[in-house]
Chain A
Amino acid sequence: MSALTLTLKYRPDQRVDMSPLSCQHLLGKEPAEIAALELQSGKCKLRVDQLFSLSGFDTQSLIIKNSFEKLDFIGRDLEEGHITVEGDAGAYLAMGMKSGQITVTGNSGLYAGCEMKNGYLEIIGDTGDFLGGALPGNKIGMKGGLILVKGNAGERVGDHLRRGMILIEGNAGDYCGSRMIAGTIAVMGQTGRYLGYAMRRGTLLLWNPPQLSASFNDCGLHTLAFLPLLFTAFKTLNSKFAENSVAFNRVQRFAGDMAEMGRGEVLVKK
């Protein structure tokens, strides 16, 4: 059965809430029913077939073509299913995702993977601030799953991250790992200022030396046994993280943020 393909006909001026098109909401629906679903756009409601031309039948494999940066909430609370976004995605991509897989060929906006519970999110391009973070006012961000960003990430990556893994091939902005509760963030490129700001626990794994605050203490050079396991787990990814040449187990360990609980760690490749 061919994937259900939604091809954007035009770019609306207002942002569009795509959450009704998460795979679990489409299960068992006929194409005509899907076409009649309404999407909130600004203060208007648009029928799906007003905005998209539809083809294919497999509602558990969704392709969004000609996507652009105002399509928000793609894959919200996704349960199983596979969504491919050809182009850019808006804000709140994969928010609260429970399982399944989302791939974005372009960039994504703010709060991608925020409060995600499980599953796999891959962003080929760049992503905005608060990747895998918590919604404003909430205290717990991403709780599980894996996010892979092949480009760069904005500020506050993994804000309030509770569990799960965020892998960034490019750079991460300021406050990466801020207020982390636990989990792992790996950044191959450069990181900005205030790395791990107020992090409680968790691991920041870096390939390049960071600019660390005074509230991170040097714990020395170490060979850590869990790192080979971590890199072995990356082998299944279509990513630089899967390459043998990027793996290491020798690190400089910094503990912090001592202004908070101080059980977190920044591991820098040596």
Chain B
Amino acid sequence: MIINGVSIDATFAEAFPMKATRIIITAQNEKWALIAAQSMSGFATSVIACGCEAGIERTLTPEETPDGRPGVAVLFFAMGGKGLAKQLETRAGQCVLTSPTSALFNGIKSDIKIPLGKNLRYFGDGFQIAKVIAGKRYWRIPVMDGEFLTEATAGQVEAVGGGNFLVLAESQPQALAACEAAIDAMRKIPNVIMPFPGGVVRSGSKVGSKYKALNASTNDAFCPTLKGMTHSELPASCESVMEIVIDGLSKQDIDKAMRVGIQAVCELGATSGIQRISAGNYGGKLGPFHFHLQEIMA
């Protein structure tokens, strides 16, 4: 398959099941809601070492938030419910509770609940107040700027993590420009995040390593400097590869995000130095969800 001179590999991305939640952070204005959200979703690029993958889904208007203030929706993904709960609580406590004027709410319906402010309330040292409003429990925790309002629990849902595609380009600036275009398009899709810095990862990994302590290592088959010394997947003219990783609340959400992302890259086309689109395919070792590039782009 070739779109605008860009070859789409007959391969697939592999993804795995995850647990996810969505929370809503509001603040006096969008600036401070974003500061809290960025802080909370920082150092959350990969479950390999961060404990969770998180990112800002989108900003919310005052009409869309529970307390009528500007807000931000943040998605969290982890390999298990316990890990998700731990990360959510730790990050909420250190990054949102501490952020001026912030309030924290659940953003997803589910029968499975994980603590959000349920345990943060103890920061109130006995002065905290519970309020059940419209069937939801909130905690009012007295803090130095007034009161921190947080919903007691957040919903936990099944999700998919690790959808991806690789952009193979003639040069590094061209690969980055293509990925930026893809990210701009993909950020408009709901229910997904691209957790890596700016949505793009330049250090894609393979499963395993020659070092026993590591369970992931550099994807040498796509490293351009190793073309002559490993079983390379790259053509001679390819100088740079960048990857976009997608976590979503469902397979369909990731399908949609991959389609618009690859489409945006292909619109730049071969004339912009884009050679191929490939995907992280680890021979089925990684997960049960397979995203076939040519099917997605058909």
Majority DSSP secondary structure for residues of B touching A: strand
30 cross-chain CB contacts under 8 A:
A144-B132, A164-B132, A182-B130, A184-B131, A201-B129, A203-B129, A203-B131, A222-B147, A224-B140, A224-B146, A225-B67, A225-B103, A225-B140, A225-B146, A225-B147, A225-B149, A226-B131, A226-B138, A226-B140, A226-B149, A228-B67, A229-B66, A229-B133, A229-B149, A230-B131, A230-B133, A232-B68, A233-B134, A263-B126, A263-B129
Find residues 183-218 in chain A having any chain B CB closer than 8 Å to their own CB.
184, 201, 203
Q: How far is the CB of A64 from chain B (nearest CB, A)?
A: 29
Could you count the A-B residue pairs with CB atoms below 8 Å apart for me: how many are there? 45
Q: How far is the CB of B124 from chain A (nearest CB, A)?
A: 10
Q: Decide yes or no whether B282 CB sits under 8 A from chain A.
A: no
Q: Decide yes or no whether A163 CB sits under 8 A from chain B.
A: yes
Minimum-distance CB pairs A-B, first 5: A233-B134, A225-B149, A233-B133, A229-B133, A228-B67
CA distance A184 to B68 in the complex (A): 22
CA distance A224 to B131 in the complex (A): 13
Find residues 148-165 in chain A having any chain B CB closer than 8 Å to their own CB.
163-164
Say whether B138 contacts A229, CB under 8 Å: yes
Chain B residues within an 8 Å CB radius of A238 = none
Chain A residues within an 8 Å CB radius of B67 = 225, 228-229
User: A62-95 interface mask toward B, CB cutoff 8 Å, 1 = contact, 0 = none?
Assistant: 0000000000000000000000000000000000
Find residues 27-76 in chain B having any chain A CB closer than 8 Å to their own CB.
66-68
Partner of B133, one of A144, A223, A226, A265: A226
CA distance A144 to B131 in the complex (A): 11
Q: How far is the CB of A261 from chain B (nearest CB, A)?
A: 10
Count, chain B residues at interface, CB 8 A: 17
Say whether B66 contacts A224, CB under 8 Å: no
Chain A residues within an 8 Å CB radius of B149 = 225-226, 229
CA distance A265 to B131 in the complex (A): 12
A201-B129, A233-B134 known; A223-B146 Cβ under 8 A: yes
Chain A residues within an 8 Å CB radius of B129 = 201, 203, 263, 265
Chain B residues within an 8 Å CB radius of A184 = 131
CA distance A233 to B131 in the complex (A): 12
Q: CB-nearest residue of chain B relative to A184?
A: B131
Q: CB-nearest residue of chain A relative to B138?
A: A226
Q: How far is the CB of A162 from chain B (nearest CB, A)?
A: 11
Given contact pairs A222-B146, A225-B146, enumerate 6 new A-B contacts (beta carbons under 8 Å): A163-B132, A182-B130, A224-B146, A226-B149, A229-B66, A232-B66
Find residues 221-246 in chain A having any chain B CB closer than 8 Å to their own CB.
222-226, 228-230, 232-233
Chain B residues within an 8 Å CB radius of A224 = 140, 146-147
Q: CB-nearest residue of chain A relative to B130?
A: A182
CA distance A263 to B140 in the complex (A): 13
Q: How far is the CB of A174 from chain B (nearest CB, A)?
A: 25
Q: Decide yes or no whether B127 CB sits under 8 A from chain A.
A: yes
Say whether B68 contacts A228, CB under 8 Å: yes
User: B109-136 interface mask toward A, CB cutoff 8 Å, 1 = contact, 0 = none?
Assistant: 0000000000000000011011111100
Q: How far is the CB of A204 from chain B (nearest CB, A)?
A: 13
| Most chain B CB atoms below 10 A, which of A226, A233, A265 | A226
CA distance A203 to B132 in the complex (A): 12
Q: CB-nearest residue of chain A relative to B140?
A: A226
Q: How far is the CB of B270 from chain A (nearest CB, A)?
A: 54
CA distance A163 to B126 in the complex (A): 18
| Most chain B CB atoms below 10 A, which of A164, A225, A233, A265 | A225
CA distance A223 to B147 in the complex (A): 9
Chain A residues within an 8 Å CB radius of B140 = 224-226
Q: CB-nearest residue of chain A relative to B68?
A: A228
Q: How far is the CB of A226 from chain B (nearest CB, A)?
A: 5
